[in-house]
Structure 1
Amino acid sequence: MIIYTYPVRTAFTDRDLEMISPQMAIKPLEFTQSPIQLPFYFFLQFFQLLWYLPKTTQYLCFFGGYHSVLPVWFGKVFGKKCIIEAGGTDCINMPKIGYGNFRKKWLRKATVYSFKNCSLIIPVAQALVKQEYKFDQSISPKQGLLNLIPDLKTPIQIIPNGFDTDFWKNLNLSRPKFTFLSVATGTSNPARARVKGYDLIEDLAKSHPEWSFTLAGDPNYKSINQNVTILGKQSPSELLALYNSHQFYLQLSTSEGFPNSLGEAMACGCIPIGSAVGAIPEIIGDPRLLLTQKNIHELNELIDSLSNLDLKSLQKNCTLIIHQNYSYAKRKQQLIKVLVE
């Protein structure tokens, strides 16, 4: 049986369980993101791991952090494989915007211990392994595991996210021109909003009151612009409708691993406009749709330049990229393979 630990349940963890559970027995154990509750959860997790130990064949951790320390330790002590799925914040150090495991002393220690002592690291993007970050000039360019842990020797294998393109698809509905969508949770926290690029989106909305913007995922987020609509957490069917009723999808994150909603939006026919961080350039594939510097003037110029392009062809190409490179079946096959080896 696989013990699967994660700090909080997300669409990513649900998808992992959906992929693995038909093939192998897996037991999810949720941890916590609350600093106050950490001592209790370490105590609880220790006895959970001890209880399931006789049936445990290996450990799988979603991200590195506090929740991965004990599974890694149990793996080393009892000779069981422990794999960590690196996804974003666990490979980043950006104290300027309050983001990344490596900006906090004890979280950094837990993360470094986990990555150094696990059996295998499977990041969702090459940029999380090593990158020269250039998007925001106020942030250190040295990001990624090999920059932050120079003596890291643990094997690394990239396994990108995958999308169910039988569900996430273009329904060929009407898309009003200059309608922009972005999806992210937790953006009522100002630091989280900046990480997700909402400061740039607000500047864009302010400079173009004739355009329409939808920000979905956090009902408590507040916008000062009247052309911005705020929606709460959406069900998959509601997201499908949103993706199919907007012309553009904005992924202007200051930092990112492999954004789930970007892939879904592209599969549904949204034309993406993304920041050149993390896996976003790989996913989008077209440099004409990438913002290389965090600058509102460059963003306006990028969008203005799209009027000279064949948007229908762009839309088709972006959808094709997800179908060909980031299929659900491809990730499932790669994930199962590393678990059975």
Structure 2
Amino acid sequence: MRKERILYIYPTLSSFIKGDAEILSREYEVTHFRVHPTSWHSLLRSLISQLFHLIFNLRKYDIVYIWFADYHSFLPTLFCKRFKKRCYIVAGGYDVCREKKYGYGSFTNPIRGFMTARSIKNCTTVIAVSKNIKQIIRHVFPSTNCVTIYNGVVLKPGKEDVEKESLVLTVSMASTAKNVFIKGIDRIIEVADLMQETKFILIGTERQLLEKIGYKIPDNLQVLGFVDHSHLQEIYSKSKVYCQLSRRESFCLALAEAMLYNCNPVITNIGGMPEVTGKNGFIINEYSAQNCSFVIKKALEAKTNSLGRERILSEFTIETRAEKILNLLESN
């Protein structure tokens, strides 16, 4: 029996996008199409290439599966609606936001917002990565079919008997000044400067970028940039606290990974992060450096327990996500 074919479209090959590729390939024949949005020229070239690929090859596919509603989802959803193909969009957060104050979200740009909105209206189903994102979609697009399927942790659980250090860890991928601000990295720098006796580690953002923006990095904050998964797991294992002070966050996979390694979470009450922590950890409702430092000290003094770890294993594994995605595609 022939496997159904999926056209898998995405802008970057991040860990969660790789995770979905692996899931889809279990039951389907998957063709990858990557769009390059790094500049207007590369984006335009990608969209022209996408147009010709859809014209000559769409008939070969049974399903189109797209990460993020954006420029790159407009043509596929339009073609799929016209030719009655099933089409799914994974909404990751940026694509359904309009934060004018921060200049963040697809809907801060009229053209981008139009293409995003048409994509969401034309697709078969939107897969939201958190209930928070689903709520936004339901509010803006009440007639759109939308389901929540959480991102899944790929990492294996660490050993429970590893001795924790008085260490505060943050993992945030930021490559621009805007992303640094949205991810609350400026807050991490501010709090670390206030807690000189405590060691902080920031992973995923380059020190050179922070210094270029104008931040002075305190001596107790170690900025590591990109690290591979094996090194990241070592740092998760020894960190007592995981701290995420984002201004916007749809889910936060690193938070779930840290909880899997028994880190005490400290988060801002934003987006999908409270859905990840549940009743575990420490939530900051209103940010100030003084308040945050007080909460982090409490988290460092608190005992670690396995409740957070058990929550991740029951709700947020890659296998849980795989089961729900494959059931969704099969049911349609």
- Name the CA distance, whole Å, in 1 between partners of 2:266 and 2:77: 38
Check if 1:15 corresponds to 2:4.
no
- Name the CA distance, whole Å, in 1 between partners of 2:54 and 2:251: 30
Map of 1:186 onto structure 2 = 174
Map of 1:134 onto structure 2 = none
2:255 paired residue among 262, 265, 270? 262
- Name the CA distance, whole Å, in 1 between partners of 2:143 and 2:85: 18
User: Do the aligned partners of residues 184 and 115 (structure 1) sit closer, same or farther apart at CA in structure 2, a change above 3 Å counting?
Assistant: same
Answer with 293-302 or 112-121: which moved more.
293-302
Check if 1:327 corresponds to 2:314.
no
- Name the CA distance, whole Å, in 2 between partners of 1:107 and 1:168: 40
- Name the CA distance, whole Å, in 1 between partners of 2:54 and 2:285: 45
TM-superposed deviation, 1:297: 2.7
Check if 1:159 corresponds to 2:146.
no
SS at match of 1:255: coil
Check if 1:312 corresponds to 2:311.
no
- Name the CA distance, whole Å, in 2 between partners of 1:312 and 1:70: 49
Map of 2:95 onto structure 1 = 90
Map of 2:197 onto structure 1 = 210
Map of 2:127 onto structure 1 = 122
Would the aligned equivalents of 2:24 and 2:30 in 1 still touch at CA under 8 Å? Answer: yes
How many correspondences in the alignment?
320
SS at match of 2:238: coil
SS at match of 1:122: strand
- Name the CA distance, whole Å, in 1 between partners of 2:220 and 2:142: 47
- Name the CA distance, whole Å, in 1 between partners of 2:330 and 2:6: 11
SS at match of 2:18: helix
2:239 paired residue among 237, 243, 246? 246
Percent identical among aligned pairs is 27
Structure 1 unaligned residues grouped into runs of 5+: 131-143
SS at match of 1:68: helix
- Name the CA distance, whole Å, in 1 between partners of 2:301 and 2:238: 22
- Name the CA distance, whole Å, in 1 between partners of 2:182 and 2:262: 25
Map of 1:136 onto structure 2 = none
Check if 1:28 corresponds to 2:32.
yes
2:48 paired residue among 3, 21, 43? 43
User: Do the aligned partners of residues 104 and 294 (structure 1) sit closer, same or farther apart at CA in structure 2, a change above 3 Å counting?
Assistant: farther
SS at match of 2:88: strand
TM-superposed deviation, 1:52: 2.5
Q: 2:54 is matched by which residue type in structure 1?
A: L
- Name the CA distance, whole Å, in 2 between partners of 1:54 and 1:67: 19
TM (normalized to structure 2)?
Answer: 0.91
Q: 1:47 is matched by which residue type in structure 2?
A: F
TM-superposed deviation, 1:171: 5.6
TM-superposed deviation, 1:84: 0.5
Answer with 110-119 or 223-232: which moved more.
223-232
Would the aligned equivalents of 2:19 and 2:318 in 1 still touch at CA under 8 Å? Answer: no
Q: 2:270 is matched by which residue type in structure 1?
A: V
SS at match of 2:168: strand
Structure 2 unaligned residues grouped into runs of 5+: 211-215
Check if 1:338 corresponds to 2:328.
yes
Q: 2:293 is matched by which residue type in structure 1?
A: N
- Name the CA distance, whole Å, in 2 between partners of 1:52 and 1:328: 30
Deviations 1:129-177 (A, max 9, x none): 23xxxxxxxxxxxxx2244x2x541111111112235x24246333221
Would the aligned equivalents of 2:247 and 2:270 in 1 still touch at CA under 8 Å? Answer: yes
2:228 paired residue among 235, 247, 252? 235
Map of 1:79 onto structure 2 = 84
Query: Which structure shows the bigger proportion of residues in strand conformation?
Result: 2
TM (normalized to structure 1)?
Answer: 0.89
Q: 1:181 is matched by which residue type in structure 2?
A: L
SS at match of 1:183: strand
